[in-house]
Structure 1
């Protein structure tokens, strides 16, 4: 009898152990899949911020492999601290590699961090093959390497993801207030030196019984406290423009990271499953076998608890839709070669445009402050004289040399192949003595923006004929970019500031640093996470979803047309989160205003009957251009056909009797009160709610 019972116990024990082992094997297969999904809700590549490719097997490649190997070296303390920094290669050598990696502050150390980084290490070579500068950004960890030392140098956000879903209207005001207060608190905590891990904070705030905001932010640990604060603050300030009333937003940068959501997306301090209680020892053989059964059952239960924990994390992250975000780059990349300390680096294929730093330094009087004529997102512009010719020299900032090198390469590559009277002409470039310079033809009348919005400047007021000629020139230039050039170009940053005027007030489009060549289907368009430009001129599909086509430029053109004819800063209204749709906002009062009330008030300037018809036509076209639905916007060729002003001689007949006088003649005085009564309440409302000039600080570069 005892033997029978013993056999049954052995069989039962064996069965439980086999079951436990089976489940453990299943768990081993499932866990990698679950953990991969866990840390790779997003795998966003950033391969185009620097220049140059390495050759497989080269010294640079070997140094890179050593750096990546160190990343997963079990002797290093990365997983315990969540941050890794290394460099390989001889000091100041051309094959030196710098790299760092970091896990998000809520990721459990060391194992979750180790798994994420092990995966990202294998993926970066596939996503950015043979790139000397590359980064892969996951939601839970990231890795970046470069052939230039970037440690301690902040680099702003390059990737943004915005939700299309919005907060219910009745909760929006409170939502914006709570979100702002939450991130103010997170920013203070992450940068006051008390956070753990450093430069990291996450928390939640309740908006209502049905709505909670969850927020998280973090900087790379190579930054100073001040640089971290500045990086995060600049991203938080974009919430009113890019986040607005969205249910969530994420910005993944090379130096800082922010995210908010209306559901839990980060790991709270979940307690680890308790270890199995060790059973007491027993003398009996049967008790020993029962202990074996208990151990088997315990292992099975612990395994199932781990499985449940990972499954819950995966389920939470399924609420955030998985996105494989595309990035379209210029089809032809030019390798740079040469000695920057002697003859300077030359871009292959356009070596003839390479200029000497010594000559440009002399032409600008050693880049004297008195010769500064402008400032852009990448540096200052200086006036110079070379060979008795006036030139404009853009000196690119070296704060983020990888980014500006990419901008220089792109702009030189594009402009060298573009020739049109309404595009600024590139004279040359210089990459020498750690300086990067672009040289253009000089535009004596500066930018269109100063003529439209700076009445106190010393520039003359644009008359109606000049404004119409400028409109025609801009349209011609865009048509060349979209349809007539060898490479079809999407500018992506059209605005009055990027329209320069020569001595005859001929408009010329400039600043191609963020342009894209459209080698893809233009109707379907492309998607990017590198959303940069000027918020108020961005089409909604580009601004909020990263989608850009030629119709995105058409939207920017529409805002410009309105600004040229009205001298109202409509882009500021378009930057206001309270106004989600510029066209709808304008339509409420626009239709009730007369043409005279809509147009800019130009002192002592009149327009003809023919011009009046054209003004109405252009304003109608502008309203079509700013349609929220991009399919409703006209093509540039259709716009060009509608306003061929140069073929209409009536615009040049200044002797024609004007139908409107914008100022009083000597024999008929109009007092101020009468003039005010003539202005409709609608137009005053439109102009009175203009957003202050300080919103220029929200312009996104």
Structure 2
């Protein structure tokens, strides 16, 4: 058996693969947390830990596979959670937790916090309180080495199945939150899957945890026949062979018609290490010196539209679906044309983007949007269903998103804005961040959106955000990070200074736009029409100045200001980090996602924002006054931001 340790380091992470065979007693993943301190041999904490772990696997009264016990007092108190997969028997659960208890104390002999996972159970303990908390860090993932032939069709079926199981598991109650099921996929394949949460979290927390976990599929297993992602509070797994047991009183699932026999399913666990970083860096440096450096080149004409598998509709079909593009069906209008609601003959609702013949978007931009969006599949991106290219008409057919755009909710309709309570806004911010992270790092190619704004964030029936309008987006190879253009296009107020001034765009340009959007969501006001009582202010300037003075709460939307939370203030802080004038000072979207999902990660002090303007409210403050604000509202740290998630 290969024994490995996953370590967290506040330095450059190196990702490498370890292939291990799966078995019931094989350790799939483990993490020894050094940051919470260590205990000494023969100490009270060690004795309490031994007593606590023994009480878990010797308990014969609990039969739901979930244990949450504490033992000891004060600083020597140990808290533990064990979760067995929902399909195994109580006896098998005790065997699994027994082996886990022995393994975790051997692998992590002195740490006061650790987590370990086997195929059918998970065990974690800590000196901090871990009960009734939805925790999504650290996370681990693995995937099947065999790939599917029809990636798009398989992904659609898998997404449908996991969404169903997430809701079923979340509704399981306080005894067990577990669901299993199967669904047909292309090429006569059958997808089998399970979803599970620790039953001490709420139904909504379980749904969110699984939602967050499944959003990471592009990182690990988008093209694989199987995969799993594991958080401390939830996990899921899918395969094309049935890997779980079915209760005796349940109907057995039909076997896959194209089973490949008794293949050994191997799982790849992504492990973080720093020990070999120096060797790899030296090798990279030698390679860079020896290779002939090629000039930067933007990826163009990657595929012809004819090669993209999309529904191509004739113009008459779309005209009928939209009632001849009637004003009653018009959802909005932008720089490139109008968007209409429509309904196809099969009853499916669609949104049709009709490009204006007088707009600046020509065939190149149209082709760019079709090819680009067709390649992107993420729950926080709007889904392209088809297109129409006929005579002078160019139409894009998208999924219909019923709640229209974020712009309407926070800027246009005051009633809608008052209903946009903080938890909903925070979910929108995190969803946009995950969508951008996918574009920048997790999709097949790196995508820079270049026109991120409230009007291009659509909201579905559950108020989940979907990034839309990729007409200005640019596609790059993954080792390319930036580009230049003579044609600056976008929306002023959201465009980064290096893009406005020099036509230079990068992932950090999108980060700037995201920061503006975060500040708008928190304040409920547009960046170019921000008012402090009766005084018109520049949003970025006033936000930074307020934070600098320790009065960040005054920029919060009045509908939320009665109960300002640490999350609101932290979002202001993150927004200010994203809109810093120097692009190199801005965080990446990977760092932003960690900041939003891990409140314990310290935030650095933001420098002045771009487009600094003297404030009307306090003209005495100047950009050069950069001392620490000294406010207790936010936790600030001069240290750089480091991702704390093993990958």
TM over 0.5: no
Q: Which has the larger radius of gyration?
A: 1
Q: Which has the higher helix share?
A: 1
Whose strand fraction is larger, Structure 1's or Structure 2's?
Answer: 2
| Shorter-chain TM-score tier | 0.3 to 0.5
